[in-house]
Homo-oligomer: A and B are copies of this chain.
């Protein structure tokens, strides 16, 4: 039986810890902090990020938020911002002990979403 990426990331609990660290990092990253400081309901934003991550990696959770294109529409996100988010995510995975293979799968997945995020 194959292990899902969800399991390799530590399931819902592991993913929640990663998302927490990512959001903290974003609030301190000059490339994106202006966006994230402006979020009114951070708990909701974190829940959406967790659900998206969980559902997209093979977990039983359901993501009820907007699709990626709609979620980023009109924000005119730059390559610099996109990579800042990638970097903070990779650092959070490393901090939480995610192994190399799982990390690379997440990197490739985030890369595959790029055109639904940048300048849409």
Contacts and interface: CB of A to CB of B under 8 A. Distances in A.
A83 B74 contact: no
A86 B76 CA distance: 17
A83 B73 contact: no
Q: Tell me if A's interface is mostly helix, strand, loop or mixed.
A: helix
A interface, how many residues as a size bin?
20 to 34
Copies of this chain, tallied across the complex = 4
Contacts of A105: 104
Most chain B beta-carbon neighbours within 10 Å: one of A81, A83, A86: A83
Nearest to A90: B111
Contact of A104 (B81, B90, B108, B114): B108
A113 to B, nearest CB: 12
Interface of A: 30, 32, 34-35, 37-38, 73-76, 78-83, 86, 90, 103-105, 107-108, 111, 114, 118-120
